[in-house]
């Protein structure tokens, strides 16, 4: 699925009559808008000449200190503001890291499936993306070992492992604690830098944040964080926490890319963290997203035809749905749109064309009753699709014609 | 002068006892802060769920329409919002353009001297920067022709002419109207895309904005604009106006680089333009900067020793000062700092080590009486430097030892 197709999908999916289970937009309408409004107004009247001026390429020092406090909630006790680089969402951190580390042909390892825009960024720098398979416990260490051995034989330069270990986008899966240690150990021995992208870590439905991989490997992990899911993506405030030499190179790359980040949005986030009860707000988000996840899982269990399977996220925004053999999620999408429900077909989350019989379902944005309606519509479409296959296709499932 | 040196300079120059003629920071304290505060607060309360959400990679359509109105003031009558890409300052537009057009070894032509961070960006993509000389009428067309001929013989791939034709940074010079036509014609024949970077165009001391090069060459120019000098750099809202195929590639590059720009700052600028008397604010800025320019030019004329020359800007932020033969602006800087005045040595604005006996003086940020003090201190330092040379250096000026 190319970028223009994704944009066309989101344009269609934004129509009011369609239940969109496609986008990953957080529910910002749940924010205390009056409090945000007074925070930004106070910022301009009290510190306007600073908030409206140029800042440094590394980001505001006060915000970087508060970012360290946020990361402490995930077990990162030793983060220093000097090692934090504020970025335009964590997407920019990923772009700058790729710019700094990747030469054309270098290998980036990622989960399969993985975050779609990360694939685009790696492709923009002509990296070769190699997927590592996942199961319900996350990235499979044996698969990682085997892939590294194979790539070593090929003489490939493996530079990075890009992973979303917690409430993964798109699979909703979390890497278990023993596997985190194992993955870190494998990468350390192989000289592969781990990029831990963790936008959803604080949105744990169990209440306790998941311990970050970075907490146990300060020298081997670049941690990417974001306020897009815990506050507002419209601020575009994310960050990288990196070992000092990497952080220094990211700052130079950021300066070349954008000169400096918006002081206004940086200080707006800093003031929000300083003056608002944000841990309570995150708790409210967690409970809201848990209700939505519950609505999705319950309706999936009630409506989906046999042979359909799905993940059971403990946090974050996404469920990964695997369809019965031979059903093509991308081919089915126009019929789903006609039935007023949208999703993202699985192929978009792979660099190698995998994922045809899978899709990502988001429960972050629509309220529970809309999610319920959407999943029911999807189940109806899927049943019709299976029936159609049985009626018209005499080939065995593995020979099901593909476009 | 490497980036770390520039940062160290700005850190020193920000001390209160030092008159900084170094930075290019606009005087944002002259903005109506109460009006800005109420604009952003109203935005959050009335349109919070949109302003705090993700946006599109191209930028908000309403803002893009208003940007077309702004460009119309500079004679660009045919701009369409579809051809505008909103960027994180015009710096990001420059970065994305370089990413899209430049392969390692490609040539970018620029004025000599030119904007320092543009040099860094071109270097980041391994472009070869070739300077074209300027006189008081701007870029010299004959020099452009000769350079293109020479590069053609070498077989070099010349991709872009990067120019700040109006109130140039750092030289304060404006390309005359006949030369604009001539430069456009030369580049068109040579197949070189013109990148017109125009952050200062509306800050004309004569009152009438200078007609943009883009106004007369819609297919041959990518125009870069910015609200950093007419509103506030802390918003980081700039843009590119480009022919459709270029704009489409910039959007894809922007998506890969940052996913999307801040909707919050984009809509804050859009609401400011919609609800505030911004042409009057620009007029106030123009008059303030003109007073500061006057203070600088007057004090230069009163105090500078013979053999020193400088440009006379008709708008913008900068004067370019050329020192008597053999005086090295970078070597003199520590003594200037000790005398409580700072500037940027000329070498920073060249990719080839030129500019040793020159410096950029900014009059944008300090009030007139501080500018007067700063220039007087600089003249004292320079006189002492000249005396020191006469006393201790017996070599002829052309053999003056260089580091």
Q: Write the secondary structure of chain A as one string of H (helix), E (strand) and C (coil).
A: CCHHHHHHHHHHHCCCCCEECCCCCCCHHHCCHHHHHHHHHHHHHHHHHHHCCCCCCCCCHHHHHHHHHHHHCCCCCCCCHHHEEEEEHHHHHHHHHHHHHCCCCCEEEEEECCCHHHHHHHHHCCCEEEEEEEECCEECHHHHHHHHHHHHHHCCCEEEEEECCCCCCCCCCCCCHHHHHHHHHHHHHHCCEEEEECCCCCCECCCCCCCCHHHHCCCCEEEEEECCCCCCHHHCEEEEECCHHHHHHHHHHHHHHHCCCCHHHHHHHHHHHHHCCHHHHHHHHHHHHHHHHHHHHHHHHHHCCCCCEECCCCECCEEEEECCCCCCHHHHHHHHHHCCEECEEHHHHCCCCCCCCEEEEECCCCCHHHHHHHHHHHHHHHHHHHHHHHHHCCCCHHHCCCC
Paired tokens of A356: 């045809």
Given this model, what pLDDT does residue B394 score? 54
Closest to A275 (Cα-Cα) out of A77, A68, A30, A34? A34
Lookup result for tokens 């008159």: B19
Cβ–Cβ under 8 Å, residues A352 and A107 = no
Whether A121 sits inside 8 A of B258 (CB atoms) is no
| Token pair listed for B329 | 């602006």
Residue A359's nearest CA partner among A338, A333, A385, A383 is A333
Determine whether the interchain pair B259/A49 forms a contact, defined as Cβ–Cβ distance below 8 Å: no
**Nearest chain A residue (CA) to B94:** A257
With residue A296 as reference, give the H or E element that holds it: helix A278-303
Structure tokens at B40: 């952003």
What is the distance between the alpha carbons of residues B176 and B183, in angstroms, rounded to a whole number?
10
Gap from B383 CA to chain A (nearest CA, Å): 34
A403 vs B: CB within 8 A? no
What pLDDT was estimated at residue B395? Answer: 52
Which residues in chain A are contacts of B32 at CB distance < 8 A?
none
pLDDT of residue A2: 59
Tens-digit pLDDT string for chain B (403 aa) = 556 676 777 778 788 899 999 989 999 999 999 999 999 999 999 999 999 999 999 999 999 999 999 999 999 999 999 999 999 999 999 999 999 999 999 999 999 999 999 999 999 999 999 999 999 999 999 999 999 999 999 999 999 999 999 999 999 999 999 999 999 999 999 999 999 999 999 999 998 999 999 999 999 999 999 999 999 999 999 999 999 999 999 999 999 999 999 999 999 999 999 999 999 999 999 999 999 999 999 999 999 999 999 999 999 999 999 999 999 999 999 999 999 999 999 999 999 999 999 999 999 999 999 999 999 999 999 999 999 888 876 554 444 444 3
Exposure string over B46-78, b if 16+ CB within 10 A, otherwise e? ebbbbbbbbbbbbbbeebbebbbebbeebebee
Instruction: For chain A, positions 97-156, list CB contacts with chain B under 8 A.
Output: 99, 117, 120-121, 124
In order of B32, B61, B273, B280, B285, the CA distances from B38 in angstroms are 10, 23, 13, 18, 21
B 261-290: CB under 8 A from A: 261-265, 268
Shortest alpha-carbon distance between residue B177 and chain A (Å)? 31
The verdict on B372 touching A (C-beta cutoff 8 Å) is no
pLDDT score recorded for residue A402: 40
- Chain A nearest-CA residue for B88: A258
C-alpha to C-alpha distance for A307 and A324, rounded to whole angstroms = 5
Q: Three-state SS for A345?
A: strand
Asked whether the beta carbons of residue A31 and residue B53 sit closer than 8 angstroms, the reply is no
Q: What is the pLDDT of residue A191?
A: 97
* Residue corresponding to tokens 């008597």: B324
The confidence score (pLDDT) of residue B33 equals 96
Q: What is the pLDDT of residue B401?
A: 42
Cβ neighbours of B5 in A, within 8 Å: none
Count of positions (residues) in chain A: 403
Q: What tokens appear for A227 in the block?
A: 């306020």
**Residue A105, token pair as written in the block:** 């042909």
* Predicted local confidence at residue B400, as pLDDT: 43
ipTM of the complex: 0.94
Res B3: pLDDT: 61
What length does chain B have?
Answer: 403
- Is the peptide bond prior to B11 cis by the omega test (within 30 degrees of 0)? no
* pLDDT of res. A393: 63
pLDDT at A403: 37
10-residue mean pLDDT profile of chain A (403 residues): values are: 68 87 93 96 97 96 98 97 98 98 97 96 97 98 98 98 98 98 98 98 94 97 97 97 98 96 98 96 97 98 98 98 95 94 96 96 97 98 92 56 40
Contacts of A89 in chain B (CB under 8 A): 258-260
Name the strand (E) or helix (H) holding B226: strand B221-226
Q: Which residues pair with A223 in a beta bridge?
A: A196, A241
Name the residue among A378, A372, A304 with its Cα closest to residue A341. A378
Asked if A161 reaches chain B (Cβ–Cβ under 8 Å), the answer is no
Question: Would you give the DSSP letter of residue A206?
Answer: T
Query: Which pLDDT belongs to residue A399?
Result: 45
Residues 302-341 of B with CB under 8 A from A: none
């Amino acid at each position: 699925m190319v970028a223009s197709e994704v944009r066309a999908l989101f344009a269609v999916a934004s129509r009011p009559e369609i239940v969109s289970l496609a986008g990953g937009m957080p529910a910002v309408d749940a924010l205390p808008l009056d409090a945000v409004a007074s925070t930004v107004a106070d910022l301009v009247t009290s510190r306007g000449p600073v908030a409206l001026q140029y800042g440094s390429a590394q980001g505001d020092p006060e915000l970087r200190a508060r970012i360290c406090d946020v990361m402490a909630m995930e077990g990162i006790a030793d983060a220093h503001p000097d090692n934090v680089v504020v970025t335009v969402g964590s997407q920019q951190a990923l772009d700058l890291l790729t710019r700094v580390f990747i030469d054309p042909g270098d290998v980036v390892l990622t989960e399969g499936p993985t975050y779609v825009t990360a694939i685009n960024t790696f492709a923009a720098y002509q990296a070769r993306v190699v997927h590592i398979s996942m199961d319900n416990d996350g990235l499979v260490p044996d698969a990682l070992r085997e892939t590294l051995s194979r790539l070593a034989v090929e003489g490939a330069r493996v530079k990075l492992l890009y992973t979303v270990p917690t409430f993964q986008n798109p699979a909703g899966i979390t890497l278990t604690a023993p596997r985190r240690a194992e993955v870190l150990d494998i990468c350390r021995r192989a000289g592969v830098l781990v990029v831990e992208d963790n936008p959803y870590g604080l949105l744990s439905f169990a209440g306790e944040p998941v311990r970050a991989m970075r907490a146990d490997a300060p020298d081997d992990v670049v941690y990417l964080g974001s306020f897009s899911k815990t506050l507002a993506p419209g601020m575009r405030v994310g960050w990288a926490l990196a070992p000092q030499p990497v952080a220094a190179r990211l700052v130079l790359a950021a300066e070349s890319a954008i000169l400096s980040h918006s002081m206004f949005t940086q200080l707006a986030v800093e003031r929000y963290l300083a003056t608002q009860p944000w841990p309570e707000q995150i708790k409210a988000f967690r409970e809201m997203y848990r209700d939505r996840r519950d609505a999705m899982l319950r309706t999936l269990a009630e409506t989906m035809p046999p042979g359909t399977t799905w993940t059971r996220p403990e946090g974050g925004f996404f469920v990964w749905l695997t369809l019965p053999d031979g059903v093509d999620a991308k081919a089915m999408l126009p019929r789903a749109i006609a039935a007023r429900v949208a999703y993202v077909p699985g192929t978009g989350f792979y660099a190698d064309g995998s994922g045809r019989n899978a899709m990502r379902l988001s429960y972050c944005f629509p309220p529970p009753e809309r999610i319920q309606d959407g999943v029911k519509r999807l189940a109806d479409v899927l049943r019709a699709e299976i029936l159609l296959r049985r009626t018209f296709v005499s080939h065995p499932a593995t020979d099901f014609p593909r476009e």
